[in-house]
Amino acid sequence: QKEVEQDPGPLSVPEGAIVSLNCTYSNSAFQYFMWYRQYSRKGPELLMYTYSSGNKEDGRFTAQVDKSSKYISLFIRDSQPSDSATYLCAFPRGPARQLTFGSGTQLTVLP
Amino acid sequence: KAGVTQTPRYLIKTRGQQVTLSCSPISGHRSVSWYQQTPGQGLQFLFEYFSETQRNKGNFPGRFSGRQFSNSRSEMNVSTLELGDSALYLCASSLRQGAYEQYFGPGTRLTVT
């Protein structure tokens, strides 16, 4: 079993839709939860990170963590064509905070 | 502030050759990590350098090595290239070892023929 499972997509939504991106994890040692966005031909960009169960908002983005179910989500409200990218969940561990990534969900927001 | 820079951006090598990739972290950042990204395996941690010392290593063969210089710049070397080494190699820098915020460069796309 993989440590991290991420809905593979691809996901295609109309502009303005609410998008839900999801990951499950099996390693109880994961205590921090991160979301990265990667545009084509670019490196991943950190969107949000949190360490507690519950919701954390940042503008149109909300990260949700349920530690009891080992399930994390990223919601994007009022999605824009500029949100079209691959979204990766990531879990840092160890003293180097080395990241274990999900496989990524490719999102396309249609104008 | 300039971001993480990686050179070269694209590289084509032949099986059996070796390659060196370079990463310049954000000014003031002292920790550099390297990741390999492939369609099949996704993003995988290679190793991390801090204060010119390799602090952590992922599950990759010894053909993958690296080093860090006193100015925090880092290089990664792959010897005896195999077709399966074709990937996007990403460098990430952070202010210090243990910092959660890691900033990625654009990557070096290596193609092995």
Q: Give the tens place of pLDDT for each residue, A4-52.
A: 999 878 999 999 999 999 999 999 889 899 999 999 989 999 999 998 8
Share of chain A above pLDDT 70, in %: 100
CB-CB contact of A5 with A92 (8 Å): no
**Which tokens sit at B37?**
């990204």
Chain A residues with CB under 8 Å of B50 CB are 96
> CA-nearest residue of chain B to A105?
B42
Q: Is residue A42 within 8 angstroms of chain B, CB to CB?
A: yes
Residue A1 has pLDDT above 80, yes or no: no
Q: How far apart are CA B103 and CA B28, in angstroms?
A: 13
User: Got the DSSP string for B90-111?
Assistant: EEEEESSTT-S--EE---EEEE
From residue A37, give the alpha-carbon distance in Å to each of A28, A41, A53, A74, B109.
24, 12, 21, 11, 18
> CA-nearest residue of chain A to B38?
A103
